């Protein structure tokens, strides 16, 4: 299987799994929007909420990194710049969710 096909399949799978996670997040965000700090901490202290929010963050960054890398492939002609941009993109798509998950698990 060629890389473009793999990337397309991963985009479709991550986009499909992102939909229910986004619905879950939006519903819970509406519920906790005007609540006290203690209720928000309680929400993020729940292991199930931590797990689903972690999946949501990882999936969202994975999907966005794949999508943005397609833009790099289409519009950046210089191979070195494209390679550096993709590496920085993928590094940030790993580091930012990792930091977020670590900070949430500290609650």
CATH code for position 59? 1.20.1300.10
Cα atoms found within 13 Å of the Cα of residue 61, Cβ hemisphere only: 18
State the residue range of the domain holding 101: 3-105
pLDDT at site 4 = 81
Q: What is the pLDDT along the chain (107 residues), one digit of tens a residue?
A: 788 888 889 999 999 999 999 999 999 999 999 889 999 889 989 999 999 999 999 999 999 999 999 999 899 999 999 999 999 999 999 999 999 999 988 87
What is d(CA 60, CA 43) in angstroms, rounded to the nearest whole number? 20
> Could you give the number of structural domains in the chain?
1
Helix (H, G, I), strand (E, B) or coil at 9: helix
Residues 76 and 85 sit within 8 Å (Cβ to Cβ) = yes
């Amino acid at each position: 299987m060629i890389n473009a096909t793999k990337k397309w399949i991963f985009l479709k799978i991550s986009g499909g799994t992102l939909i229910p996670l986004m619905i879950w997040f939006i519903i819970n965000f509406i519920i906790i929007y005007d609540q006290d700090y203690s209720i928000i901490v309680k929400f993020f202290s729940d292991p199930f909420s931590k797990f689903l929010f972690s999946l949501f963050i990882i999936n969202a960054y994975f999907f966005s990194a794949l999508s943005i890398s397609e833009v790099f492939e289409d519009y950046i002609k210089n191979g070195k710049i494209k390679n550096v941009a993709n590496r920085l993109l993928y590094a940030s798509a790993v580091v930012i969710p990792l930091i977020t998950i670590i900070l949430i698990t500290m609650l």
